[in-house]
Amino acid sequence: MADKPTVLIIEDEPNIRSLIETVLSKNGYVTVGADSAESGLKKIPNLKPALILLDIQLPNMDGLECCRKIREDPRSKDIPLILVSVQSSDIHKIIGLESGADDFITKPFNPGELLARVNAVLRRSRQAESAPVPPQLSDGFFVLDLDNHEAALKGRKLKLTPKEFTLLVFFLKSREKVISRDVMSTHIWERENLDTSRTIDVHIGRLRKKLGKYHWVIQTVGKVGYRYSPEGEKS
Ligand code: CA
C-alpha cells in the first residue's frame, strides 16, 4: 500500500485546525498542524508535505506572505497549496493576484467540500508529475535532446557523431566524477573489440575540439580517465 500523503495545516484557530485534521485523517491523510506561518515554514523542509492548507488570516506573517515564501523556496515551490479564508470576495482578488496558490476554500466550509478540494488538487498535481517530460539533459553549458540526438553548447548547435553524443550524455550524467577508461569501455563501447583505451582518447580528443573554447570542461585525470567538470579551472 502506498504511503498516506501528509497534509500540513497552517491555521491559528485550534477548533478549525482540529476539524480539518479530523476530516483528513479519517480519509486517508496524515495531518500535521502549525499555528503560525513561521512555524509552518519551519516544518516544510523536513516534512515535505504532499499538500499545504494555509489560512490567510494568521498572527504576524499572514497567509499570503507565507504563500509567497513557500513559492520562492526551491524546496517548496512545487508543493500544492490551498488557501483558506473567511471572505470569498477577498479570495477572488487574491487568486487574481497570482498568489501562487492552487486553489482556495472559504470559511465556513463543510467537510465534504474540504475533502473534495484536497483530493482534486492532489490528483491534478499527480497528473502533472507523471506527464512525460521532454527527454532533455541540460546544465549551464549543454542542452542535449535525447530524442533527436541534438546537442547545443551555450546556445550553439554541435555537430556530433553518435558516439560523441553518447559520450557527452555520459559526462553530463556523471558531472564532476572521474570516469575511468574501463568504465567508458564497458558502458559506451560495450563489447566492441577494439583497442578501446586508444579509441576513447581519440574520440575525446575530437569531442573536445568541437567544444572550441570550452574544451576544458572535459578534463584528463592522470592515467585513469576523464571528468566532466564545467565548474573546474580552465586549463
Ligand atoms: Ca485565522
Q: How far is the CA of 38 from the centre of ligand 1 (A)?
A: 14
User: CA-to-CA distance for 194 and 69, rounded, in angstroms?
Assistant: 56
User: CA-to-CA distance for 188 and 166, rounded, in angstroms?
Assistant: 7
Domains of the chain by residue range? 6-130, 136-228
The residue-averaged pLDDT of 156-176 equals 90
Q: How far is the CA of 86 from the centre of ligand 1 (A)?
A: 8
Q: How far is the CA of 34 from the centre of ligand 1 (A)?
A: 12
Q: How far is the CA of 85 from the centre of ligand 1 (A)?
A: 8
The residue-averaged pLDDT of 144-156 equals 91
Grade residue 91 by pLDDT with cuts at 50, 70 and 90: low
Q: How far is the CA of 62 from the centre of ligand 1 (A)?
A: 9
* Least confident interval from 53-67, 125-139, 211-225: 125-139
Q: How far is the CA of 46 from the centre of ligand 1 (A)?
A: 24
User: Can you give the three-state secondary structure of 20-64, one letter per residue?
Assistant: HHHHHHHCCCEEEEECCHHHHHHHHHHHCCCEEEEECCCCCCCHH
Q: How far is the CA of 8 from the centre of ligand 1 (A)?
A: 15
- Highest mean pLDDT among 122-126, 130-134, 149-153 belongs to 149-153
Give the whole-number percent of the chain exceeding pLDDT 70.
87
User: CA-to-CA distance for 52 and 48, rounded, in angstroms?
Assistant: 10
* Least confident interval from 4-8, 20-24, 67-71, 230-234: 230-234
Q: Indicate if the pLDDT at residue 103 is higher than 60.
A: yes
CATH number of 6-130: 3.40.50.2300
**Average model confidence (pLDDT) for the chain?**
87
Q: How far is the CA of 116 from the centre of ligand 1 (A)?
A: 21
Place of cell 498516506: 4
Fold of the domain spanning 136-228: Arc Repressor Mutant, subunit A (1.10.10)
Q: Indicate if the pLDDT at residue 133 is higher than 80.
A: no
Q: How far is the CA of 18 from the centre of ligand 1 (A)?
A: 13
Q: How far is the CA of 35 from the centre of ligand 1 (A)?
A: 9
Q: How far is the CA of 4 from the centre of ligand 1 (A)?
A: 27
User: CA-to-CA distance for 106 and 109, rounded, in angstroms?
Assistant: 6
Dump pLDDT digits (tens) for 35-52. 999 999 999 999 999 999
Q: Indicate if the pLDDT at residue 199 is higher than 90.
A: no
pTM of the model: 0.56
R_g over Cα of the chain:
26
Strand partners, 153: 142, 156
Between 121 and 38, residue with greater pLDDT: 38
Q: How far is the CA of 125 from the centre of ligand 1 (A)?
A: 26
pLDDT score at 89: 65
User: CA-to-CA distance for 104 and 88, rounded, in angstroms?
Assistant: 9
User: CA-to-CA distance for 156 and 168, rounded, in angstroms?
Assistant: 15
**Helix (H/G/I), strand (E/B), else coil: 143:** strand
